[in-house]
Amino acid sequence: MNTPPSILSALKKRLHLQPDHPLAITRQLIESRFPGYAYHNALFPIVTTHQNFDSLGFPPDHPGRSRTDTYYINSKTVLRTHTSAHQADTFRANATPGYLISADVYRRDAVDRSHYPVFHQMEGAMTWDRTTVPTNSTLAAQIWADVAKIPSHDLTVQDPNPTIDADRNPLQPEHAAAEVEAVAAHLKRSLEDVVVAIFSAARAATTAGGEAPADEPLQIRWVEAYFPFTSPSWELEVFWQGEWLEVLGCGVVRHSILANAGVPSRIGWAFGLGLERIAMLLFSIPDIRLFWSEDARFLSQFSASKPIARFARFSKFPACFKDMSFWLPAGVGGNSAGGQVGGFHENDVMELVREVAGDLAEDVRLVDEFTHPKTGRRSCCYRVNYRSLERTLTNEETNRLHEKLRGTLVERLGVELR
Ligand code: PHE
């Protein structure tokens, strides 16, 4: 068990179901682009390691399984790290050819304005039955007929790679190239339609004192990717305010997943997207912590029955930076940048910051690292930015928090303060 009470208390929040919450509005906007699909929005967040990893083909040594990345309840049970944990069960139920699953997911991670240990994903999938094709047609032709039903758009799409590449993005042995071409086209057109809907809404969003609307033409691109449970696979990136943002991962579902789920005759696609990331673009929300705010100045700005409006900051409260330097316990060497050094992992520091400061910590960064030339001991310096989204913090308050954090690091990680 490495799941702190602060994380367990998030299980009951279900922000994606709270009426008028920006995550719920984002979910509904995407759902409206998938008519006829089944929507599953209340699946329980505690799953088995089989559901979260094994059923999807994650190898036994995959880093995602490690206790530094995933919250365990016991050795066989975790807080789901992605909505794909429900793929196999949903395929097994075989209730509708298409489905969407929206849910809270949990990952141990950095502390900054776009990462939070609890966030929300939407999974989507569509499959076709290869045995029920009329004799005068082919499955590929059936799927292309479905592609033609997706609304068209005039977006600039960069998609330079062939659908199938023997090395980088292989065809599965159970599939025919013509079927996969059709499935990939249905997948890409469906998701392009979602992006068009979201970004036109973001553009049209009224400004209630927020930033001026961006009016650069929307550009998107398909990039080859790898997931253990799809092949070929892609990521979709959107050019937004000067950078390429990764919006979702997707691909053609592995035959073994469908076969193990008792539906070996089906073929289709799946995608997974992060709802916070999309909601932040849609409403111009600058900090992921805001989604958890119960402040009426935040919540009252969103309404499912009104046009999308840009979020207006209540005010920008001052930041307060404080450093903490410490020696790692003796015997812990190596390079800690972004990860694991012997028994020390940066995510443990991140989690203690969350435990002590909660949402008052905006950002934590490693600013210096040093190995003593004689003793070989390693020292790290992390800079914590304390800032409330709702008020100005007093000096005494941040000092108290920071002292408590330093003490907790000594007690829980065995570091020696400098
Ligand atoms: N579950 C993947 C993630 O969290 C996203 C994904 C879903 C990719 C479905 C492919 C198909 O990154």
| Average pLDDT over the chain, rounded to an integer | 93
What residues make up the domain containing 17? Answer: 5-310
Distance 216 CA to ligand 1 centre (A): 29
Q: Is the pLDDT of residue 337 over 90?
A: no
Q: Is the peptide bond before 232 cis (omega within 30 degrees of 0)?
A: yes
Do 77 and 221 share a structural domain? yes
* Phi and psi, residue 34, nearest 5°: -125, 65
User: What is the average pLDDT across 42-68?
Assistant: 97
**What is the reported pTM?**
0.93
Q: Identify the CATH number of the domain in which residue 53 sits.
A: 3.30.930.10
Q: Is the pLDDT of residue 211 over 90?
A: no
Contacts of 383 (CB under 8 A, 6+ apart): 321, 322, 323, 364, 365, 367
pLDDT band at 336 (very low <50, low <70, confident <90, very high): very low
Distance 249 CA to ligand 1 centre (A): 5
> 278, 310, 342: which is the final residue of a domain?
310
Asked whether residue 315 is assigned to any structural domain, the reply reads no
Dihedral (Cα; 139, 145, 150, 153), 10-degree rounding: 110
For the chain, what percent of residues have pLDDT higher than 90?
86
Asked whether residue 201 is assigned to any structural domain, the reply reads yes
Determine the atom of ligand 1 nearest the C-alpha atom of 83: 1
pLDDT one-digit tens code per residue, 156-165: 999 999 999 9
SS (H, E, C) 291-335: HHCCCHHHHCCCCCCCCCECCCCCCCCCCEEEEEEEECCCCCCCC
Asked whether residue 306 is assigned to any structural domain, the reply reads yes
> 292, 310, 328: which is the final residue of a domain?
310
Asked whether residue 103 is assigned to any structural domain, the reply reads yes
Nearest to 400 by CA among 362, 349, 360, 351: 360
Asked whether residue 112 is assigned to any structural domain, the reply reads yes
pLDDT band at 218 (very low <50, low <70, confident <90, very high): confident
Q: Is 221 left (phi over 0), alpha (psi -120 to 50) or beta?
A: beta
**Is ligand 1 within 6 A of the CB of residue 45?**
no
Q: Identify the CATH number of the domain in which residue 353 sits.
A: 3.30.70.380
User: What ipTM does this complex have?
Assistant: 0.99
Between CA 270 and CA 250 the distance in angstroms is: 6
pLDDT band at 240 (very low <50, low <70, confident <90, very high): confident
Asked whether residue 390 is assigned to any structural domain, the reply reads yes
83, 84, 104, 105, best to mutate for ligand 1 pocket (most atoms within 8 Å of CB)? 84
Do 147 and 227 share a structural domain? yes
**Is ligand 1 within 6 A of the CB of residue 251?**
yes
Asked whether residue 249 is assigned to any structural domain, the reply reads yes
Nearest CA to ligand 1 atom 10: 250
Determine the atom of ligand 1 nearest the C-alpha atom of 272: 7
Do 350 and 294 share a structural domain? no
pLDDT one-digit tens code per residue, 141-184: 999 999 999 999 988 999 999 999 999 999 999 999 999 999 99
Do 67 and 176 share a structural domain? yes
Between CA 151 and CA 341 the distance in angstroms is: 51
Give me the number of domains the chain comprises: 2
Do 213 and 256 share a structural domain? yes
Do 138 and 248 share a structural domain? yes
